[in-house]
Structure 1
């Protein structure tokens, strides 16, 4: 069987749907970081074990969960509150961990991005791989941008090719825009200050390749517009109707926010370099 960890803060709208899809496991943990709504009440209503810890970053919060929660099983699945496990995904997870050799430390998983009841297969560059399923004590996370990726791994990683569902827009566009405004600040800092080497663009592993692509493509003149053209036209996003158009426009806007925040960070860095050293000025 599998232990499941869900990180939450004010997730009363989505959490019930997520927990309802996890009735097949008897070890579900909700690690909350200060909810002020009914999140904890809903978690306990569904029989989940609840713990609380202040949020610093996604990578650190996931590592805290791995190191401090009383996890029952060897295999651990991380989910967000706005994600749903399908029957097919559950079956593939159980099949994969049953057949996994001892050298397998975990698995990348992928999602179906859902908007207005529609799967955005083309707009969202399906499949996008995230490290979500791991063997206890064999893997940890590091931060990158607004999210996290795998860090120290003891073994090899496989792939769960059957997707789960991701309802990123479930709370409405106002919440999504506010959230991605915060995310864009973290992404700008990461792409500017922690830019991976250019050679990583050609790596086969998407978890290594994608951070490099993000960090280098943002330097291309007109990248936000090119991001829209790629997703909507070249990737056939126009086939997904109004939801596809809205998604492509907003993802291009997200890249634009990252672009202008990188410019702002560069100007601040230059200004700091030009300022006189107070210790030298008043000698």
Structure 2
């Protein structure tokens, strides 16, 4: 079987559907960082194992899970509470781990970004990849921007093309904007202090190429507008209607926040 680790803090709205989608696992862990709503009560109802650890960063929280949780299976799937495993994704991960050789550390996974029941395939530049399915002891995580990426990989990482669902707007736009205001500060510092070399822009590996593209493209004058034009016009985001337009506007605003915070950060160096 495959163990599940879900990071939570005040996730009573999203957690039930996420836990329902992994009821096939015999080892589901909730790593909570101080919920004050019904998150833990819901986790108990679904029979999940609950552990507390104060949140510092996504990378550190996932590494804490690797080090401290009693994970009983060889394979671990990391999820956020607003992510849902479909039947097709479940079948794909079971097939992947059953045929894999010993040198595979895990899989990059991709998601369908959902807004108002619309899959933002074009707006969100599908597929985007994150290291989420890993073999225990074969890799760790390191912080990158507001998120994380893989580190200390023993072997190599493959790609799992079947997506899961990501409901990143389920708590409303006020929550999304507040969260991304914080994320933009972290992203600005990362793009200044941890800028990848330019050669990574040409990498065939999207997990290497995309962070490099973000760091170098944000130096362009008018980059937020370019980001909107690329997603909404060039990538055909307009085909996704009003949800696509709203998403592209807000992602351009997010890039604008990162740009002005980079400028502010450099002034304070």
TM-score normalised by the shorter chain: which range applies?
over 0.9
Deviations for 1:101-130, whole angstroms, at most 9, x for unmatched residues? 111110000000000001000000000010
- Residue in structure 2 matched with residue 250 of structure 1 by the alignment: 250
Separation in 2, partners of 1:160, 1:200: 22
Structure 1 residue 158 displacement after superposition? 0.8
For the residue of structure 2 that corresponds to 1:259, the secondary structure is helix
- Residue in structure 2 matched with residue 108 of structure 1 by the alignment: 108
Structure 2 counterparts to residues 123-272 of structure 1, below 5 A: 123-269=123-269
For normalisation by structure 2, the TM-score amounts to 0.99
Structure 1 residue 267 displacement after superposition? 1.2
Separation in 2, partners of 1:154, 1:60: 19
For the residue of structure 1 that corresponds to 2:132, the secondary structure is strand
Q: Which runs of 4+ in 1 moved over 4 A?
A: none
Structure 1 residue 198 displacement after superposition? 0.7
- Residue in structure 2 matched with residue 46 of structure 1 by the alignment: 46
Separation in 2, partners of 1:156, 1:177: 36
Separation in 2, partners of 1:96, 1:194: 33
Structure 1 residue 255 displacement after superposition? 0.2
Deviations for 1:31-59, whole angstroms, at most 9, x for unmatched residues? 00011111111111100000000111000
Structure 1 residue 196 displacement after superposition? 0.6
- Residue in structure 1 matched with residue 58 of structure 2 by the alignment: 58
Q: Which has the larger radius of gyration?
A: 1
Separation in 1, partners of 2:48, 2:242: 37
For the residue of structure 1 that corresponds to 2:47, the secondary structure is coil
For the residue of structure 2 that corresponds to 1:131, the secondary structure is strand
Q: Report how many aligned residue pairs link the two structures.
A: 269
Deviations for 1:83-113, whole angstroms, at most 9, x for unmatched residues? 0000000000000000001111100000000
Structure 1 residue 165 displacement after superposition? 0.2
- Residue in structure 1 matched with residue 33 of structure 2 by the alignment: 33
Structure 1 residue 266 displacement after superposition? 1.1
Deviations for 1:179-224, whole angstroms, at most 9, x for unmatched residues? 0000000000000111111111011111111111000000001000
Q: Which consecutive unaligned segments of at least 5 residues does structure 2 have?
A: none
Structure 1 residue 172 displacement after superposition? 0.3
- Residue in structure 2 matched with residue 97 of structure 1 by the alignment: 97
Q: Which consecutive unaligned segments of at least 5 residues does structure 1 have?
A: 270-283
Separation in 2, partners of 1:206, 1:52: 33
Separation in 1, partners of 2:106, 2:187: 26
